[in-house]
A and B are shown apart, each in its own frame.
Chain A
Amino acid sequence: MNITLEAPYLPLTGKRLRQETSRDDRIKFGLMAVIGLYLIVALGAPLFVMLSKSLSTYRFDLAAFEFQVSDETRTKWGRVVTGDALNRTLAAVAEADLASSTDGRLAATKFFPDFSFRSPVHYRIRGTTDDAAFLVGSTLEKGTEWREYDSGTFRRIMLRPARTLGLDNFKTYFSTPALARSIYNSVLMAAISTVVTISIAFALAYGLTRSCMPLKGLFRGILAIPILVPSLLPGIALVYLFGNQGIFKDWLLGYSIYGPIGIVIGSVFFTLPHAFLIILTALSIADARHYEAAASLKASKWRTFTTVTLPGARFGIVSAAFVVFTLVITDFGLPKVIGGQYGMLAVDIYKQVIGQQNFEMGAVVSVILLVPAILAFAVDRRMQKRQVALLSARAVPYVPKPNARMDGICFAFACLVSFFILGMIAMCQIAAVVKFWPYDLTLTAKNFAFDLMDGGGWSAYANSIRLALLTALFGSVIVFAGAYMVEKADAFRFGRNVFHFLAMMPMAVPGMVLGLAYIFFFNNPANPLNAIYGTMTILVVSTVTHFYTVAHLTALTALKQMDPEFESVAASLKQPFHRLFFRVTLPVCLPAILNIAIYLFVNAMTTVSAVVFLYASDTKLASVAVLNMDDAGDIAPAAAMGMMIFYTNVAAKLIHALLARGLLARTQAWR
């Protein structure tokens, strides 16, 4: 009775076995292909096109032009010379100055030092290629045909640069001090804001988890407020508080709020909730047994703090630091409003594209902005992976004991921060209802008459709500379906990994970059999806994509909590996967889906960066209106519109809470 045959290796006589595909598999595969395609079209392809755009350079190709000069009688013509040859003998234009932009122009007279517009000689010019272009005044001429001009007209001849591929744009970027300086500025601002935000967030989270201070719930609520407003709003509040007519101008001791100070204060305001939530979570999972051990060893408070509290929360702190760093370095709204002349990368993109129509340079700045964001993202991912192993299932939750002094300090600090947050919002509220700050402080509703201002009027507000609702609806569906495929589809391992990678990417892609990439990709007549350019659809797609990662992770976490064998059980019971999905998966994950929906809604209301390049005249948005009204100097209406966004988000949060409660009562009875 010999049972086993000790064959040394797998007897592979033919191909590997392949499981026959069931109908379920085919449906799942189809769904996954659809959603994978969505992410490729909405993220991968646009970024690729943008990358290639940053390498698309404009350069004067002097060899592409030929000139001929007549004598004064205009009967005899001189030798035909290329612009290149002329420049070599004259050195009229330095090699570096040949690098140009779409808008570049080079006067042809530069190559004729003895040119005089009164001279009777005539000039001939032609291109040696069909694409060689030049202007006569403002008329575009192209092609290899000789054209003859008198000297008065020849003065108006401007050569146009030719499009090539290369790193010239990057060279130009780094040789322009103001632009290159922005890298330093952005990193510096992000670093300072990160240190300040993390310190404050840690102190707050520490107070909420390790002390018995009162009103913890209220403080949590107040700390969530900055998420509900666009990042432009703290900028506007700071102008009113510390600007030249600001109430507390003197506090700055003569320094201007426009610039680094404003950027840091505003950044702390809008990144605080993010850092606070992450660190709070990290501190909440602390193990009481460690504190008991420390107490039994008679460790001092400080020593307990440095050996137990800090190490326990260190992954949370690092993670929060990267989130804050990325948010600040990629934010566009705040430095736009309060940054003054302090160059920041995200604003440079806007200036290059909207201010100078230099799309290529915008793409270059975008690529540069991607670097720190991706670095921060990659490091954070690595850290996250290590944290999982640290969690112990048997940890005992820590329950703080009352300590009057400690509780008092924590309470006072929380009050101070809450006062800061509420103060900023209150300032905007006051600004929104005052007639003419600071000269006429009577109350008025005229700042809400948005239709009389640039920016889009009340229809922009309606558009924003429409965008937020559509984003919440389609975003939740796409994100949840995608996460379901990643987590539950049992085959197509490769596809799932690619998909998951794509889903994680938006976190590292700044909104400005995404928006610009969309212009390049969708606004191309050769692209069959060109039709969505300038519609609400592209705004929804960009917003869903921009905020994809966090939503995806939320969905994934919810799905991971489900027993992985549900699918196997359903298959053994011969039930199609969609029945399991709608009967079990969806109802069980409903709370998470509602959270995703409200997350997408709130962010769609406040986002500026991705959509600022994409909105069309009939799809203007409230958040962009805040930007544009502020840009035009209509700061009070900008504040008013910002407050409208705030009210809307508060209302949405309340509705979400009610809805969640109602729905959960019906679907989550089992909990």
Chain B
Amino acid sequence: MAKRSMRSVIVASTLASIVICGDAFAQSGRDYVYIVGSSTVYPFATVVAERFGRGSDFKTPKVESTGSGGGLKLFCDGIGVDYPDIANASRAIKQSELAMCASNGVAEVIEVKIGYDGIVVANAIAGREISLSRQDIFLALAKEVPGGADGDLIENPYQTWQDVNSSLPAQRIEVLGPPPTSGTRDAFVELAMEGGCKTIPWIAALKNEDGDKYKAVCHTIREDGKFIEAGENDNLIVQKLEANPSAFGIFGFSFLDQNAEKVKGAAIDGTVPTFDAIADGSYPVSRPLYFYVKKAHVDVIPGLRGFLREFTSERAWGEEGYLSDRGLIPMPTVERKAVANAVSQLTPLAVAEK
């Protein structure tokens, strides 16, 4: 009896594996839109995907959160059902990435700018209200800061915010932020750190003389424990800020928006991060968000054109659209019209000549 039952177990499981493999290899086409890319755009792309899936006869698109760089790499690997149709990015695509796309046969890529996201420096409600300049941020967080004479760099000696700028409180510098793999970190370094770095004349002059050094000075964050890499999970940063009112955290505006009773955003260059300040461009640390579409996939993958139309519709990305409820800062009306128009015409990005 035992013998027979065991034999049947083995036969059944072998059969099952064969059937399973056959099933996989029989699959050819793909009947859903496949999206990869930035974890910052993920919350917006998923909302659109869900609404599109429920409101239409098409399947709900699949959205993978891979980070901007990883997403664009997958996207540029080739044309066909095995490769993503759309890559989300929290920065513009680089010329090198476009060239890689082109060399893999992804010739025509349509760029869709969807709106803006602000990056905030926030602390707990119980913490002090603080107003920073971008220069303060650079001096507090850079690995090396200018010393006495022009051209001198010293290891960052600042321990408290007051050391950085005498008008700031004598509170230990303690900043929780995302790791280098994150697009938020890239954008923060580029907009806040470099923005502050440039205000020092001799470093700004360095940009033309020695670009690599300029980048190294402006983009390198200190590693002596004052800046703490808190992982990609922004909820965790919010929790840590609540527990430690003297710490600051760096994350996207949508998390500030959702957690307004726990954390507050510091004013940067005199502007408090609010929806309106980011929308009209007066808040300095904000960045555009994009997604990229393969033109060759548009009428091949079912639902792709409909998804594009949904994303670029007023009810999604408009001033009162459902994406703005999620913290996406809409573009001005004229710009929205122009982008929506370019999308419906499927105007591809120009690839620079080598």
Partners in one complex: no
Interface set of B (CB-CB < 8 Å, partner A): none
